[in-house]
Amino acid sequence: MFRTFRNLGRVTGIVRTVARHDALFLLDENNAPFFAKFGIALATLGVRPMPDIADKRKGEKLALALQTLGPGFIKLGQALSVRSDLVGDEIADDLATLQDSLPPFETALARQLIEDEFGKPLDDIFSSFEDEAIAAASIAQVHFAITTDDQPVAVKILRPGIEVAFERELELLHWLAENVERHIPKARRLRPVEVIDTLSETVAMEMDLRLEAAAGDELRASFEGDERFKVPGMDWSRTGKRVLTSERVSGVPIDEVTTLENAGHDIETLVANMARAFFLQVFRDGFFHADLHPGNLLVDEDGAIQAVDFGIMGRLDKQTRYYLAEMMIGFLTADYAKVAAVHFRAGYVPSSQSEEAFAQAARSIAEPILGLPLKDISLARLLAQLFTVTERFEMQTQPQLLLLQKTMLVAEGVGRRLHPETNMWEMARPLIEDWMENALSPEAKAAEAMSEAGKLIERLPALITDMSDSVSTLSRDGLKLHPDTVNAMSRGRRPARWPWWAGAAIIVGVLIAAGSRMAP
């Protein structure tokens, strides 16, 4: 009860902030229940929109409101930027430009936080430390420094108190999502609680900079020796939970086209390199940089793309990568039967639905987009629009794909700003087709089956030992049941021999339990 009253008070403040930005339109457009509209009407009594907000688009108003509300809501807005099914295309486009930036905190505090993290004076860690932050966002800020062994580095430091601030905001968002699912049945298909859970997991990763350093190391290993896409090395001796030190890289932000051209770089080649790097991360590795805005992609003097900031990363299992590749090829080749078949085979659409009708729905949203000139085709927007027509097919949101949708949208926007006449997905198409042909060949499937069989054989001795121990324990001590279970079984029954199937069920249960303990 206390949690409810506390959150209602916080929601009142949020609603008033959103009302001042004239951004309450989502409630009317998504059929909010009467009690919610009535409560909001009470909460906003006497609130008037700010005078300088009138000429802005709806999405711009919402973006400004979310920026005012704090870092958790900024992250929520960025997640909504790929959910045109919830907010519409125009609002999604405006939210995609939502910048996660705040003024830097004081340098003296940054120095103190580093000393507290490592338990020694700053001069013992860095020979010099620049006072001015080169970047500042809602979670952390970055300073340049030089180590005591004369290596130029970038030092990322978490904002003081940020963990508590995010915990409070995410707890509120989770409470709101729970109530949406409970009171608005139509919204359950969109799985708002799972969406917030995914957001919470992402933020939790960002709160421990050791995890970010590990992600950067993993991505660097995947592109070891690659001259077109590079990742800075991590300085583990100067990295902790709240401080990350990495190799300092330099270059031109990838969206500064004029500067890049003046430096002699071929812009179309840069787009091709970005498409290739995206393909390799998503399909080859199943591990991708999920925050590819221009500030995180620099072009060095040799034309290589340098990626920085690994706080938001995404993973896709192999089967999901197969489905995604088939889906993308299906759309690019206008094979809507294939698109539908993939959705049903993946379980995204229930088998009770019509595969032919789903193919027709896919055609209805794809043809208007694919009929555009190649340079204007937005595959990211096309995939997002699938959700606008799939409610009647009982298709649920796939939270594991939200980060990928966002990444595709941002990467596509960067590619279009770089070279408007080029479509990066068409550039990546041959790579995807070759990968699918190799990955789905009989030889590849046989090798994968052998690998899985090998893993099972490796676990078999331990599994047999564990099963033997379980049977020995059962023979020595007998089957131990809770007294309540014994009473419930014997209540009102005369003593009798257990039927044969009961003994068999117990043995099967023991074997399953033993096997589950050894499962990966």
- Is 70 exceeded by the pLDDT of residue 410? yes
The secondary structure element, H or E, covering residue 307 is strand 305-307
Residue 330 pLDDT greater than 90, yes or no: no
CA 48 and chain centroid, separation: 36
Give the pLDDT confidence of 312-321 residue by residue, as tens digits.
898 999 888 9
Kindly report the average pLDDT of the chain as a whole number: 81
Q: Are 344 and 321 in contact (CB under 8 A)?
A: no
Averaged pLDDT, 451-468: 62
Cα 428 from Cα 436, distance rounded (Å): 12
pLDDT at 373: 75
Q: What is the pLDDT of residues 189-202, one digit of tens each?
A: 667 888 788 788 87
CA 325 to CA 431: how far, in whole Å? Answer: 10
C-alpha 68/C-alpha 211 separation (Å) is 29
pLDDT of residue 392: 74
Domains along the chain? 2-101 (no CATH), 103-136+139-248 (3.30.200.20), 250-440 (no CATH), 454-518 (no CATH)
Rounded mean pLDDT, 148-159 = 96
Q: pLDDT by residue (tens digit) across 355-382?
A: 999 999 989 888 888 777 767 777 777 7
For residue 511, the model assigns a pLDDT of 46
Which pLDDT score, from 0 to 100, does residue 520 have? 46
In which band, very low, low, confident or very high, does the pLDDT at 5 lie, cut at 50, 70 and 90? confident
3-state secondary structure 270-289: HHHHHHHHHHHHHHHHCEEE
pLDDT at 481: 52
Instruction: Give percent of the chain above pLDDT 90.
Output: 34
| Predicted local confidence at residue 475, as pLDDT | 61
pLDDT reported for residue 27: 67
CB 450 within 8 A of CB 442: no
Q: Which amino acid is at 449?
A: A
Average pLDDT of the segment spanning 453-469: 63
Q: Which residues are the active-site residues? A: 291
**Residues 174-186: b if buried by 16+ CB within 10 A, e if exposed:** bbbbebbbeebee
Question: How is residue 44 annotated by DSSP?
Answer: T
